[in-house]
């Protein structure tokens, strides 16, 4: 190809790139120009739905456009996440999801999306502790006591969960692998049933949510040993973390996040992230989160992206090592 033709072609490509960049920037500056859909991969009610609607109210006020929450339950959340992953990357389709939906399920079940390839992290919105609790008949008062008892009576203790692949399941499997203990898993169909079994003494141990566990801890029907977060929780600051109580590095959080389809303009991602960071600092939002035993986060996209990758790696290892299979 003659040198003049090559130069003309390079110039044309350069101009096309400039036009594309200008168009993307102009679109981001006008954003949003119409209502925004937020997919929630669960039924109405519950933690994910609450987070989506709370953020939706604040984003509606901040962006000047209506946020429409679209509940798409099914297949453990995979249907809703897959729907979002295939949406146009224009900032008008977003996802609010939990740790289970984007960090655990991809390694547990067959899904049609890759959370790293197909989703763009926007923000980690909030997180909360899971509390390690036992029935009062179990003769332990600390994490070290529990480990010692589980090792002395291999396979004699059991633990309940809200179901296969839930955080209350994989979290204890992580605990078992890090402490080299053998505690038998008994899955239930939901957190409420598992909690009732723990209170009755049918099961011995559970990693439970504060909203389910704390009323029974305070009434004396359950005994709390520690929280699963790396730092002490503002909800129960008197409880040590599992890490400081004898299992260094142990961490299992119940967290909630916002994501967008991969390819969504970075300017839009950053704007949404910034508005979420402002929202979680608002007193009424913090009060609402505290009512659900959650701490506000409001991370940057880069921070959440790095955290999501680390969580995917961690839980994939736990699921593989424990040979967990979905129902």
**Closest Cα to residue 253, out of 157, 325, 174, 193?**
174
**Closest Cα to residue 273, out of 312, 311, 303?**
303
In the structure encoding, which two tokens stand for residue 5, read together? 């033709």
Q: Where are the beta strands (DSSP E) in the chain?
A: 36-40, 67-71, 93-98, 119-129, 131-134, 158-161, 184-187, 205-208, 223-227, 253-261, 295-296
Give the bridge partners for 131, in sequence order: 208, 227
Give the Å distances, CA to CA, from 48 to 56, 126, 245, 278: 12, 10, 30, 19
Let me know if residue 16 belongs to a domain.
no
Q: Say yes or no: 144 and 122 in one domain.
A: no
Let me know if residue 245 belongs to a domain.
no
How confident is the model over 116-165, as pLDDT tens digits? 999 999 999 999 999 999 999 999 999 999 999 999 999 999 999 999 99
Let me know if residue 45 belongs to a domain.
yes
Determine the structural domain holding residue 135 and report its residue range: 131-227
Confirm if 42 and 48 have CB atoms less than 8 A apart.
yes
User: How does pLDDT run along the chain (327 residues), one tens digit per residue?
Assistant: 555 555 556 555 555 554 444 444 555 679 999 999 999 999 999 899 999 999 999 999 999 999 999 999 999 899 999 999 999 999 999 999 999 999 999 999 889 999 999 999 999 999 999 999 999 999 999 999 999 999 999 999 999 999 999 999 999 999 999 999 999 999 999 999 999 999 999 999 999 999 899 999 999 999 999 999 999 998 899 999 999 999 999 999 999 999 999 999 999 999 999 999 999 999 999 999 999 999 999 999 999 999 999 999 999 999 999 999 876
Let me know if residue 288 belongs to a domain.
yes
Let me know if residue 116 belongs to a domain.
yes
Q: Say yes or no: 145 and 210 in one domain.
A: yes
CATH code: domain of residue 314:
3.40.190.150
In the structure encoding, which two tokens stand for residue 189, read together? 């169909």
CATH code: domain of residue 196:
3.40.190.10
Domains in the chain: how many in total?
Answer: 2
């Amino acid at each position: 190809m003659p040198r003049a033709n090559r130069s003309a072609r390079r110039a044309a490509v350069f101009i096309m790139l400039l036009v594309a960049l200008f168009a993307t920037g102009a679109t981001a500056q006008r954003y949003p120009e119409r209502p925004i859909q937020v997919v929630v991969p669960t039924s109405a009610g519950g933690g994910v739905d609450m987070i989506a609607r709370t953020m939706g109210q604040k984003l509606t006020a901040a962006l000047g456009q209506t946020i429409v929450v679209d509940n798409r339950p099914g297949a453990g959340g995979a249907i809703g996440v897959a729907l979002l992953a295939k949406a146009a990357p224009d900032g008008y389709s977003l996802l609010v999801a939990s740790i289970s939906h984007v960090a655990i399920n991809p390694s547990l079940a067959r899904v049609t999306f890759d959370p790293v390839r197909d989703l763009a992290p926007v923000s980690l919105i909030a997180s909360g502790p899971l509390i390690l609790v036992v029935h009062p008949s179990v003769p332990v008062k600390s994490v070290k006591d529990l480990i010692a008892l589980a090792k002395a009576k291999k396979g004699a203790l059991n633990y309940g969960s809200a179901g296969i692949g839930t955080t209350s399941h994989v979290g204890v499997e992580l605990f078992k692998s890090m402490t080299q203990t053998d505690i038998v898993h008994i899955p239930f169909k939901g957190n409420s049933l598992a909690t009732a079994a723990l209170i009755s003494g049918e099961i011995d141990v559970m990693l439970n949510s504060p909203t389910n566990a704390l009323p029974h801890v305070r009434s004396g029907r359950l005994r709390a040993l520690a929280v699963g977060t790396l730092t002490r929780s503002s909800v129960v600051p008197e409880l040590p973390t599992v890490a400081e109580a004898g299992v260094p590095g142990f961490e299992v959080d119940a967290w909630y996040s916002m994501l967008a389809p991969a390819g969504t303009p970075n300017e839009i991602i950053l704007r949404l992230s910034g508005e979420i960071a402002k929202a979680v600092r608002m007193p009424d939002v913090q009060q609402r989160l505290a009512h659900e035993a959650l701490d506000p986060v409001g991370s940057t996209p880069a921070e959440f992206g790095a955290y999501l990758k680390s969580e995917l790696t961690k839980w994939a290892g736990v699921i593989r090592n424990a040979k967990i299979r979905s129902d």
